[in-house]
Amino acid sequence: MPEPIRVAAVGDVHLADDLRGRYAPLLEGISAEADALLVAGDLTQHGTIDEAKAFADEFDAADVPVLTVLGNHDYHSGEEREIAQLLEERGMTVLEGTSTTIETRAGRLGVAGVKGFCLGFSGRSAADFGEPQMKAFTGHGIETAVVLRRALDDLAGEAPDVTVALSHFAPVDDTLLGEPKEIWPFLGNYRLGEAIDEAGVDLAVHGHAHAGREKGLTPAGVPVRNVAQPVIQAAFRVYDVVPRRSA
């Protein structure tokens, strides 16, 4: 069987000055283990530029491409555009309804990313009905899935050997087990999972659910991994994804 593409991932590192020095020593030399490092949002605690600098300083240590999406914490101070710009200037890729490809020794890795949003899951989801405020809430959740699907469709044109969907919010509820069920609609969105299943993805990676579990599957059987740092309890996890053409 051919070599896998090695995808490292972590989420919810919530960087601020008090956590400086926690990640950089563990990311040095990561190229021995992985071909790329994905970060599944909540890079910062309060969404400030200073915290984004702390994130960039820590994750600059990685000697592989760093691809991120932003999380809800990164939006809190209204500086999400500046944060994304700062990270891009530091050589990282920030995905929001966009995709990118990376050439690795084992083939072409394609990653489509979106923050995602709330909505919920089967039997427990918000409906696009009623007051304008409710429609705005559900509409944003629905729109994020549309945007992810579009990014995955664009990515398919690049013919990647391995396709990864990266989000902050969860696309399935399997990985929320451990979280109180009352808050599941605020942790993820089944329409993200539908977009992943329709587009044909090899691996979906998300964060946000600190008390959830790592492993799950979409309804069509795509592996989903919750890499929130409190879940994986490591600087990163590595998924060795075997290209589809070799199966």
Partner 1 sequence: MNEQLARDLECAIATDPRTHELGIHLQVRGEHLVVSGEVASEERRDMVLDVIREHDTGLEIADHIMLSAEPGPGGPGHERIVPPPSS
Task: Find tokens 């909505």 and name the residue.
Answer: 119
Of residues 97 and 120, the one with the C-beta less far from partner 1: 120
Q: Does 175 bind partner 1 (CB under 8 A)?
A: no
Q: What is the DSSP letter of 44?
A: B
Map residue 12 onto helix, strand or coil.
Answer: coil
Residues 179-218 vs partner 1: string with x where CB under 8 A? ---------------------x-xx------xx-------
Of residues 42 and 173, the one with the C-beta less far from partner 1: 42
DSSP run (H or E) holding 239: strand 237-241
Q: Does 235 bind partner 1 (CB under 8 A)?
A: yes
Residues 16-35 vs partner 1: string with x where CB under 8 A? --xx--xx-xx------xx-
218, with CB counted inside 10 A (0-12, 13-18, 19+), is buried
Q: Does 76 bind partner 1 (CB under 8 A)?
A: yes
Q: Of 11, 14, 97, 191, which lies in the binding site for partner 1, with binding defined by CB under 8 A?
A: 14
CB 125 within 8 A of CB 23: no
CB 44 within 8 A of CB 55: yes
**Any idea of the CA torsion for 27, 33, 35, 38, to the nearest 10 degrees?**
-50
Residues that bind partner 1 (CB under 8 A): 1, 4, 6, 8, 14, 18-19, 22-23, 25-26, 33-34, 45-46, 73, 76, 200, 202-203, 210-211, 221, 223, 225, 229-230, 232-244, 247
